[in-house]
Amino acid sequence: MSLHRSRFGSDTDDLMLRYCSSLAVDLQMLDQDIRGSMAHVRMLGEVAILTDAEVSALSGGLARVREEINEGTFRPGDEHEDIHMAIEARLTELLGELGGKLHTARSRNDQVATDVRLWLKAAIEQLDMAISEVIQALLDRVTREGKTLIPGYTHLQRGQPILLGHHLLAHAWALSRDRARLADAAGRIDSCPLGACAMAGTAFPIDRHRTAELLEFAAPIDNAMDAVAARDHEQEMASVCAISMTHLSRMAEELVIWSCSEFALVHIDDAYCTGSSIMPQKRNPDAAELVRGKTARVCGDLVTLLALVKAQPLAYNRDLQEDREALFDALGVTIDSHRIMAAMWRTLEIDTDRFENDLRGDFSLATELADHLASRGVPFREAHEIVGRIVKWCEQQGSDLSALTTDKATEFHPALADNLEGLLDPRAAAERRTSFGGTAWSEIERQAKTLRASLGDPPTDMPRSGA
């Protein structure tokens, strides 16, 4: 019979054992669970609930159980229900009655809450590094190819000529806000539930501040009931992941579009493409497509965590055990997706000539003509109307803005005769946009410098663009 069934008449049904077990996902928290127990035992010793000899025997026993699980000489099974019971059961086999003292002044409710927070603290560091990797890769491309002229799109229709660096930094800023969100969420995760026990605290003279300190948490959680019931930090983490995945997904979508034969602006490295089992010529951008696909999965993880908690009365309910599959999945997928995206950006071939040539023969400079008229005192609405008529005329000629001669332009408005050639130069048009955050190279350099500096800093010092 299991460790906590003395009040029952019979053993648990086999299906029930499998149905209730969280071991498969719990094994990912083995280290955290042992660490938590070691800190708890040490604190119990310091407040004289355990003797020094008991503390050292229990700590040694815990280290041994960890080793046995890692080496596979002790295999927790569904009969143990979860990682906490498995460890205690093995400890009791090793140490006899003393193993039973481990659970003094704690419960699995505060234990699991502590394990997950410890797990998240490590995952946050990895995610922050992975996001930073993508930002770094983007910044490197800005240095290398950032001056390339490209069409800036709205509605996936050509809008205005911009520099590639402007476009890449827009993605980088979004990711830098993900880092800021992550740092913010990290602050709320950094509190220790251990010692909250089932939800009421304990009559034992424990020192929760000491436990928190031993586990490198900023502080113990104030309310014991909140400590075991709260899962908003998990929802918040999944939300950070889901938002960041949507950023990656937009990038991935652009890589898919830019790499197809119709655009052929970039070439994704072979390492991140796959072939077709039937069409020998295919090079499919699977990594980018999977980033898009996995975004759906992470959004689903967030919804799982929101729905899981919404109707639960305080404090702990067994439903909460369902949190980890979604939470760990969200973090794992998001970290991997950033890593693969960083690798794709690092190895991407960018056809800068094709980007620039692509700009010839379109109407991307229409706004430039309208702005020019407006700067000569024509109200912008009227300037817009005049240039609209020019576009129509060019289209009727079966051409683009290059059909416009100075004489013809003068017919639409005399002020257009003034430097028409300069107005129709896309690089000059981009470089004129020196307003704060504009596409001019000087502005790109300014932003790149800020972002580059932020990468070396702890996430709390993140610059906040548009925040």
Task: List, by residue number, the catalytic residues.
Answer: 155, 276
Token duo for residue 388: 């609209």
Please pick, from the candidates 132, 321, 439, 454, the single residue that binds ligand ARG as defined by CB under 6 A.
Answer: 321
Task: Compute the distance between CA of residue 343 and CA of residue 60 in angstroms, rounded to an integer.
Answer: 43
DSSP state letters, 408-455: HHHHH-GGGGTTHHHHT-HHHHHHH--STT-SSHHHHHHHHHHHHHHH
DSSP state letters, 146-168: TT-EEEEEETTEEEEEEEHHHHH
Residue (211 or 439) nearer to ligand ARG, CB = 211
**Site for ligand ARG contains 230 (CB under 6 A):** no
User: Shortest approach of ligand ARG to residue 320 CB, angstroms?
Assistant: 5
E strand map for 291-334: none
**Site for ligand ARG contains 35 (CB under 6 A):** no
Token duo for residue 467: 């925040």
Token duo for residue 235: 């929802």
Please pick, from the candidates 74, 316, 328, 355, the single residue that binds ligand ARG as defined by CB under 6 A.
Answer: 316
Q: Select from 298, 290, 334, 341 the least CA-distant residue to 133.
A: 341
Residue (23 or 448) nearer to ligand ARG, CB = 23
Task: Compute the distance between CA of residue 100 and CA of residue 92 in angstroms, rounded to an integer.
Answer: 6
Backbone angles phi, psi at 451, to 5 degrees: -65, -40
Site string for ligand ARG, 93-112 (x = CB under 6 A): ---------------xx--x
Please pick, from the candidates 33, 78, 82, 133, the single residue that binds ligand ARG as defined by CB under 6 A.
Answer: 82
Task: Compute the distance between CA of residue 397 and CA of residue 394 in angstroms, rounded to an integer.
Answer: 5
Judged by CB under 6 A, the stretch of 175-183, 214-222, 318-326, 447-455 that binds ligand ARG is 318-326
Judged by CB under 6 A, the stretch of 188-196, 271-279, 317-325, 379-387 that binds ligand ARG is 317-325
**Site for ligand ARG contains 258 (CB under 6 A):** no
Backbone angles phi, psi at 296, to 5 degrees: -60, -40
Residue (22 or 249) nearer to ligand ARG, CB = 22
Distance of CA 81 to the CA centre of its chain: 32
Residue (92 or 312) nearer to ligand ARG, CB = 312
Element (H, E) at 219: strand 219-220
Task: Compute the distance between CA of residue 179 and CA of residue 462 in angstroms, rounded to an integer.
Answer: 7
**Site for ligand ARG contains 22 (CB under 6 A):** yes
Contacts of 393 (CB under 8 A, 6+ apart): 403, 408, 412
CB contact at 8 A, 12 and 2:
yes
Q: Select from 25, 125, 28, 30 the least CA-distant residue to 335.
A: 125
Judged by CB under 6 A, the stretch of 87-95, 218-226, 315-323, 368-376 that binds ligand ARG is 315-323
Judged by CB under 6 A, the stretch of 313-321, 348-356, 364-372, 388-396 that binds ligand ARG is 313-321
Eight-state DSSP code of residue 220:
E
**Site for ligand ARG contains 160 (CB under 6 A):** no
**Site for ligand ARG contains 32 (CB under 6 A):** no
User: Shortest approach of ligand ARG to residue 9 CB, angstroms?
Assistant: 19
User: Shortest approach of ligand ARG to residue 308 CB, angstroms?
Assistant: 11
Please pick, from the candidates 48, 318, 458, 466, the single residue that binds ligand ARG as defined by CB under 6 A.
Answer: 318
Residue (38 or 116) nearer to ligand ARG, CB = 116
Please pick, from the candidates 320, 333, 340, 429, the single residue that binds ligand ARG as defined by CB under 6 A.
Answer: 320
Residue (101 or 108) nearer to ligand ARG, CB = 108
Task: Compute the distance between CA of residue 244 and CA of residue 132 in angstroms, rounded to an integer.
Answer: 12
Residue (21 or 176) nearer to ligand ARG, CB = 21
**Site for ligand ARG contains 155 (CB under 6 A):** no
Judged by CB under 6 A, the stretch of 176-184, 304-312, 316-324, 339-347 that binds ligand ARG is 316-324
Residue (30 or 299) nearer to ligand ARG, CB = 30
Contacts of 159 (CB under 8 A, 6+ apart): 151, 152, 153, 364, 367
Site for ligand ARG, rule CB under 6 A: 22, 82, 108-109, 112, 316, 318, 320-321
